[in-house]
Amino acid sequence: MAPLATSRISISSLANLLAKQMAIDSFASFHYINGPVPVSPPAGFAEYFGIGPHYRWLEDGGVAEGSMISRVRKFPHGSCPEDAVRALGKDWDGHWNNHYQVMEYLYDTLDKNPDIEGIVGYSEGATMAASLILDEDRKTQEIGRPRRIKCAVFFTG
């Protein structure tokens, strides 16, 4: 297979390729969901992610240039990756306005699709997938809810 230029590959095309490849031998199937928060993306966003509508998971209370989705497009430089991420979030208190609603949305999806045993998350979706795994562990300990997620893949951007 010839190398592909990364500027011509979208996340959805990679996901579709992976889904088709795994379906060949019935190894796995995919159930896709969007984040529940509609977003008006910053300039240049559609060139990478395609024509909308676009959604995100996290409602961070930011608007326009102040939102994390806009600030990540101007990713700060740091002496190491950890410093760059700290600089990106320096003005954000970490509050996630819709945490309960997102967890309920994800649990509802799991309850309606009993065959789901794994999760794949990209970028902000990776954060939500990791949050679900931690929340599943909490619910297992607190109320005995059986864990559903047996494997996870996280992609960051």
Task: Check residue 78 and give its pLDDT.
Answer: 64
Q: Which residue has the tokens 């970028």?
A: 123
DSSP 107: H
Q: Is 7 a catalytic residue?
A: no
Residues 94, 129 contacting (CB under 8 angstroms)? no
Residues 86, 119 contacting (CB under 8 angstroms)? no
Measured CA to CA, the distance from residue 72 to residue 57 in angstroms comes to 15
Measured CA to CA, the distance from residue 64 to residue 45 in angstroms comes to 13
Single-letter amino acid code for the residue at 81: P
Q: Which of 26, 70, 123, 131 is catalytic?
A: 123
pTM above the 0.85 mark?
A: no
Q: How many C-beta atoms surround the C-beta of residue 129 within 10 A?
A: 21
pLDDT tens for residues 59-106? 877 654 455 556 666 665 667 767 766 776 666 666 678 889 999 999
Sheet strands (E) in the chain: 37-39, 54-56, 118-122, 151-155
| Residues 6 or more apart in contact with residue 51 via CB below 8 angstroms | none
pLDDT tens for residues 26-38? 777 888 898 998 8
Task: Check residue 26 and give its pLDDT.
Answer: 79
Tokens at 43, concatenated: 């300039």
